[in-house]
């Protein structure tokens, strides 16, 4: 639906007498009501205020888009106004707001307001267009400007196939995925090269590449640290890089793709050409990323049960919750094993990977051991073993007569691979358990003495800040997940604290020193990244000034990890940041050490900046 179909001329005001945010919202609601879009403006206004209470809809660059979805809306619509002298709308960038659009959507509109919000945000990205709307001399001109802009965009989409395609994906599907997508899109705009980016995030595949897109493009950039669908790129030029390169080397990658660089992709041969370390990392992260929802849910349920520990044995609802938590916990290692195998050998490897993981988490072996804690290491080995067994069977089954090909994938392959992997893990599990026990005993020894425990926390915290989502960061994170599965919750608290510090340091520095960063709005957004345990938000700033910002972030993140260990903080969930502070053991100490480490990091950053200027 076009914006001009939602915006009535009666719901536009180019010269209102408005003095504050409350009056602005009231006036926009009245404009929307004047155009006949509302059933009950008070009910609708309540939905707008509820949305505003979550976070400001002043998106910056002089624009605000308050919105609400409510039973008070009859049909989806827009109202708009221009305050030429500017208004304090509490925008994200702290600057005055001049251009206002309000979106109203019925309760059952299935996200119509979100579609309108996305369209508006896209149109309003260009400064010249925003200025033209602000300076429009009449309502008719205001509408004509929007109509012309929309038509221009539609014409481009109809006649142009993107020259470059890209796919971005990271293990958690939160920060790196979308930061890389944004960086590649901005690089395409800067170089005047048409580009389309598909994201493989937490909500699934968005902006999916079509077969027509693939046929007409010059090359495809795959910036991913987990498995993405590659068979569709058969015969096309593909540039494969880690997702971090999609952020830091976006312009270089877009230029290469536009020049037709990259290797011709052949799906069956591809796996032999990749670097063995990168392949291992990619397969491992595919398993971890699929297990994260299970880990988080199990951890949160554990936290709820811990709060009511005295009633767990008597309350039926808590008993049910405990049973569900245990079942989800049992699934974690089999899921990791299954999706590692899937990454290596596609779906034929999943069943045997899952079976191998079940043997690990149940402690089944030739010596009839019963493990007191599951081994992530053994689960990872089971996954890789299942993947490679499936690859070998695929090679052997290629010699089968054509008449048996139809039942190969559904019968022969899963049954035989499961039998082989089950027998191998049945034999190997006792030896892997010995290794697992040795690791646990060593970590317990480290944690038994305060000096080594604090040093251990410092190393874990620093690892989280060294490359902010890269291999070193993920090594610390995966290790902590292994300890989490084995019921040692201290390393995860240290890792989470260390991962939150870099974005907090960037945000606090931008708050105290307004001119420290080129784009202050992006720096301030790191408060949200920090609270959410998304350390990747610091990457763009660290990359520009790594010699100054990186040491400050590493030292302060290490301090956070060390203090977390010192105060015996622990958490049973691998994600969630400060949203799960109620789950942390010693939460007051945990909050205090994060604040303290952020202050230290900010002081170090300013000090290093001053020393750099003096030198």
Closest listed residue to residue 106, CA positions, set 143, 79, 67: 67
Q: Which residues, in sequence order, are bridge partners of residue 80?
A: 12, 101
DSSP string, 197-214: EEEEETTEEESPPPHHHH
Helix-, strand-, coil-residue percentages of the chain, each rounded to 5:
65, 10, 25
Q: Tell me, yes or no, if 67 is annotated catalytic.
A: yes
* Overall average pLDDT of the 324-329 stretch: 90
pLDDT of residue 3: 79
Residues 6+ apart with CB under 8 A from 490: 447, 453, 457, 483, 564, 565, 568, 569, 570
Q: What angle do CA 573, 474, 173 make, to 5 degrees?
A: 70
Residues 6+ apart with CB under 8 A from 248: 183, 539, 543
pLDDT of residue 269: 47
Give residue 272's pLDDT band: very low, low, confident or very high (50, 70, 90).
very low
* Overall average pLDDT of the 369-395 stretch: 83
Dig out the tokens for 255 from the structure: 């230029």
Whole-Å CA distances, 538 to 3, 171, 307, 445, 458: 35, 18, 34, 34, 19
**Cβ(431)–Cβ(377) below 8 Å:** no
pLDDT of residue 89: 87
Chain position carrying tokens 């009245």? 30
User: 585 or 279: which carries more pLDDT confidence?
Assistant: 585
Instruction: Find the catalytic residue in 67, 113, 413, 575.
Output: 67
Residue 325: pLDDT over 60: yes
Whole-angstrom Cα distance, residue 178 to residue 38?
A: 35
**Cβ(149)–Cβ(123) below 8 Å:** yes
Chain CA centroid to CA 536, Å? 9
User: 600 or 402: which carries more pLDDT confidence?
Assistant: 600
Whole-angstrom Cα distance, residue 224 to residue 100?
A: 38
pLDDT of residue 164: 92
Chain position carrying tokens 């291992």? 280
- Encode burial over 369-392: b for 16+ CB neighbours within 10 A, e otherwise: eebebbbbbbbbbbbbbbbebbbe
Averaged pLDDT of the chain: 84
Strands (E), 262-418: 263-264
Dig out the tokens for 422 from the structure: 């089950």
Residue 253: pLDDT over 90: yes
Residue 81: pLDDT over 90: yes
Neighbours of 50 (CB within 10 A): 11
- Helices of type H across 124-242: 127-134, 139-159, 175-191, 211-216
| 417-448 residue pLDDT tens | 999 999 999 888 888 888 888 888 888 899 88
Q: What angle do CA 159, 165, 171 make, to 5 degrees?
A: 145
- What percentage of residues in the chain have a pLDDT greater than 70? 89
Whole-angstrom Cα distance, residue 62 to residue 186?
A: 20
Residue 267: pLDDT over 70: no
Dig out the tokens for 490 from the structure: 């201290």
**Cβ(267)–Cβ(234) below 8 Å:** yes
Closest listed residue to residue 492, CA positions, set 607, 575, 601, 393: 575
Give residue 229's pLDDT band: very low, low, confident or very high (50, 70, 90).
confident
**Cβ(182)–Cβ(207) below 8 Å:** no
Residue 137: pLDDT over 60: yes
pLDDT of residue 123: 72
Radius of gyration of the chain, Cα coordinates, nearest whole angstrom: 27
**Of all helices (H) and strands (E), which one includes residue 13?**
strand 7-13
pLDDT of residue 556: 96
Helix 587-614 to helix 546-566 angle (10° resolution) is 160
Chain position carrying tokens 């960038």? 93
Whole-angstrom Cα distance, residue 152 to residue 588?
A: 55
- Helices of type H across 192-262: 211-216, 243-248, 250-258
pTM of the full predicted structure? 0.59
Whole-angstrom Cα distance, residue 276 to residue 514?
A: 45
* Overall average pLDDT of the 438-462 stretch: 91
| 2-57 residue pLDDT tens | 777 888 888 999 988 888 889 999 999 999 888 888 888 888 898 888 878 767 77
Instruction: Find the catalytic residue in 27, 113, 170, 413.
Output: 170
Q: Is residue 577 left, alpha or beta, with left meaning phi > 0 and alpha meaning psi from -120 to 50?
A: left
| 338-376 residue pLDDT tens | 999 998 887 778 999 999 999 888 878 777 555 556 788
Residues 6+ apart with CB under 8 A from 89: 21, 24, 56, 58, 64, 96, 97, 100
Neighbours of 313 (CB within 10 A): 9
User: 615 or 74: which carries more pLDDT confidence?
Assistant: 74
- Helices of type H across 488-578: 490-512, 520-524, 526-531, 539-544, 546-566
Dig out the tokens for 108 from the structure: 């059952």
Whole-Å CA distances, 220 to 165, 178, 187, 232, 564: 5, 17, 15, 11, 44
At residue 108, the 3 state secondary structure works out as: coil
Dig out the tokens for 288 from the structure: 């971890």
| 520-561 residue pLDDT tens | 887 888 899 899 888 877 888 887 888 899 999 999 999 999
Give residue 154's pLDDT band: very low, low, confident or very high (50, 70, 90).
very low
Q: Tell me, yes or no, if 176 is annotated catalytic.
A: no
φ, ψ for residue 66, nearest 5 deg: -65, 145
**Cβ(443)–Cβ(488) below 8 Å:** yes
- What percentage of residues in the chain have a pLDDT greater than 90? 28
Give residue 171's pLDDT band: very low, low, confident or very high (50, 70, 90).
low
């Amino acid at each position: 639906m076009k914006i001009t179909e939602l915006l009535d001329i009666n719901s536009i005001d180019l010269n209102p007498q408005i003095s504050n945010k409350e009056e602005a919202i009231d006036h926009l609601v009245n404009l929307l009501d004047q155009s006949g879009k509302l059933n009950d403006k008070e009910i609708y206004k309540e939905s707008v205020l509820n949305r505003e209470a979550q976070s400001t809809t002043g998106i910056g660059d002089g624009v605000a888009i308050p919105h609400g979805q409510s039973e008070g809306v009859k049909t989806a619509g827009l109202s708009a106004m221009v305050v030429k002298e500017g208004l304090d709308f509490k925008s994200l960038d702290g600057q005055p707001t001049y251009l206002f659009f309000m979106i109203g959507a019925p309760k059952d509109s299935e996200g119509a307001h979100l579609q309108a919000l996305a369209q508006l945000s896209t149109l309003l990205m260009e400064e010249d267009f925003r200025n033209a709307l602000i300076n429009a001399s009449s309502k008719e001109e205001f509408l004509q400007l929007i109509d012309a802009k929309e038509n221009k965009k539609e014409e481009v989409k109809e006649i142009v196939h993107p020259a470059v395609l890209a796919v971005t994906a990271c293990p958690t599907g939160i920060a790196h995925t979308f930061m890389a997508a944004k960086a590649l899109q901005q690089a395409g705009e800067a170089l005047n090269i048409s580009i389309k980016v598909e994201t493989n995030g937490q909500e699934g595949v968005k902006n999916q590449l079509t077969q027509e897109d693939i046929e007409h493009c010059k090359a495809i950039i795959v910036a991913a640290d987990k498995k993405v669908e590659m068979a569709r790129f058969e015969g096309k030029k593909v540039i494969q890089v880690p997702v971090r390169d999609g952020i830091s080397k976006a312009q270089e990658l877009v230029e290469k793709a536009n020049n037709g660089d990259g290797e011709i992709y052949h799906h069956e041969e591809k796996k032999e050409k990749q670097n063995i370390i990168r392949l291992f990392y990619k397969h491992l992260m595919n398993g971890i990323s699929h297990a994260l929802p299970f880990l988080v849910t199990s951890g949160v349920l554990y936290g709820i049960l811990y709060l009511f520990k005295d009633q767990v044995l008597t309350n039926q609802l808590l008993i049910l919750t405990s049973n569900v938590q245990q079942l989800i916990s049992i699934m974690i290692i089999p899921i990791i094993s299954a999706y590692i195998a899937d990454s290596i050998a596609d779906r034929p490897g999943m069943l045997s990977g899952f079976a191998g993981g079940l043997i690990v988490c149940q402690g089944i072996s030739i010596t009839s051991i019963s493990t007191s804690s599951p081994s992530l290491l053994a689960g990872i080995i089971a996954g890789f073993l299942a993947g490679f067994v499936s690859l070998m069977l695929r090679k052997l089954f290629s010699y089968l007569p054509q008449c048996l090909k139809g039942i190969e994938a559904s019968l022969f392959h899963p049954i035989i691979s499961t039998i082989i992997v089950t027998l191998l893990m049945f034999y190997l599990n006792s030896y892997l358990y010995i290794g697992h026990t040795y690791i646990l005993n060593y970590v317990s020894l480290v944690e038994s003495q305060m000096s080594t425990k604090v040093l251990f926390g410092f190393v874990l915290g620093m690892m989280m800040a060294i490359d902010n989502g890269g291999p070193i960061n993920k090594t610390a994170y995966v290790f902590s997940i292994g300890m989490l599965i084995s019921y040692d919750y201290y390393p995860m608290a240290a890792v989470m604290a260390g991962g939150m510090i870099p974005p907090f340091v960037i945000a606090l520095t931008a708050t105290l020193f307004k001119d420290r960063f080129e784009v202050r709005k992006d720096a301030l957004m790191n408060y949200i990244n920090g609270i959410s345990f998304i350390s990747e938000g610091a990457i763009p700033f660290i990359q520009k000034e790594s010699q100054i910002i990186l040491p400050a972030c590493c030292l302060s993140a290490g301090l956070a990890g060390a203090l977390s260990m010192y105060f015996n903080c622990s958490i049973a969930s691998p994600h969630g940041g400060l949203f799960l502070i109620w789950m942390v053991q010693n939460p007051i100490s945990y909050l205090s050490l994060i604040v303290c480490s952020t202050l230290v990091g900010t002081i170090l950053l300013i000090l290093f900046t001053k020393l750099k200027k003096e030198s």
